[in-house]
Amino acid sequence: MISLIVCSANINIFKKFKDSVQKTIGIEHEIVRIDNMQNLYGICEAYNLGASKAKFDLLCFVHEDVAFLTKNWGEILLNYFINKTTGLLGIAGTQYKTKTTGGWWTSGPLTKIKLVQGNKNKSKSPQAINQSASNYELGVCIDGVFMVTPKKVWNEIRFDENTLKKFHCYDLDYSFYVFQKGYDILICYDILLEHFSDGNYDKTWYEQTVILHKKWSRCLPISLPCIPEKEKIKAEWEIKKSMTRFLVQNKYPIGVILKNIFGKMYKFSLKKCLICIIEIYKAKKTNKT
């Protein structure tokens, strides 16, 4: 059946999570809680510890600040893994991971996601993008809010706790290994979650992202074969623009910002470089207001 593995930092949030699982999963399961209230583990270490304790063959790594909105979602999940080529499943991901340093998301039709997303203001809104398939689409990496993998695949790969010691990039890193080994990565639309946090994209996230990109520099970008070249180029420059804003807003040195614009370039465009430079001044102006 299914082993759910949770790196838990708040016992009250965990109790709500456990109640949600028990009311909705619909099949035999266990919840392996790794107590991280004292911040003893990075998430890679916590997940490896949890997986080593799991008794079932299907591992579901999931954040504790979620609620499940789909009834009997456990049965739906099992059906995806009847096919032995399925190595990883999530509910948010992308079909192209940029060479440019940045998160898992990309622009326009390459980002695939379905969930109810909360934020720091405690408001929430449904997010459903590009549901061109009835139940799922293929991807190259997924977001870590909900990631499911067979235990045999985890045994081949494991989370890289030696390189990634914090709480970021474990999802991309694991996804890249799965994709590299020839397994399918699925982004499904028929299991709906509500996520009560919009993530924490801070300097620690950026530092871990730089480490991840250095580790995988020879392999990036990673793409499904069907992605048109123009979509790849668009995705690269959209990430450069958004990362330029991020770096300015977080007061990184100008050298770091310019390296983001001119370094790791998928395809040179003077016009796009100038647009990113203009973005520096826009972001600085926003910082002052």
Dihedral sign, CA of 177, 178, 183, 187?
negative
- pLDDT score for 123: 54
Are the C-beta atoms of 55 and 30 separated by less than 8 Å? yes
Boundaries of CATH 3.90.550.10 in the chain?
2-227
DSSP string for residues in 190-215: SS-EEES-----SHHHHHHHHHHHHH
Distance, in Å, from the CA atom of 164 to the CA atom of 24, rounded to the nearest integer, reads 33
CA–CA separation, 212 and 204 (whole Å): 12
Give the tens place of pLDDT for each residue, 207-230.
Answer: 999 999 999 999 999 999 999 999
Global model pTM greater than 0.75: yes
What integer pLDDT is reported at residue 128 of this predicted model?
A: 59
Contacts of 201 (CB under 8 A, 6+ apart): 103, 246
* pLDDT(122) > 60: no
Instruction: Report, at the CATH architecture level, how domain 2-227 is classified.
Output: Alpha-Beta Complex (3.90)
Instruction: Find the range with the poorest average confidence among 116-125, 154-163, 164-173, 255-264.
Output: 116-125
Q: What are phi and psi for residue 73, nearest 5 degrees?
A: -70, -20
Q: For 10-54, write each residue's pLDDT tens digit.
A: 999 999 999 999 999 999 999 999 999 999 999 999 999 999 999
Long-range Cβ pairs for the range 82-86 (8 Å, 24+): 83/184, 85/182, 85/183, 85/184, 86/150, 86/183, 86/184, 86/186
Helix (H, G, I), strand (E, B) or coil at 159: coil
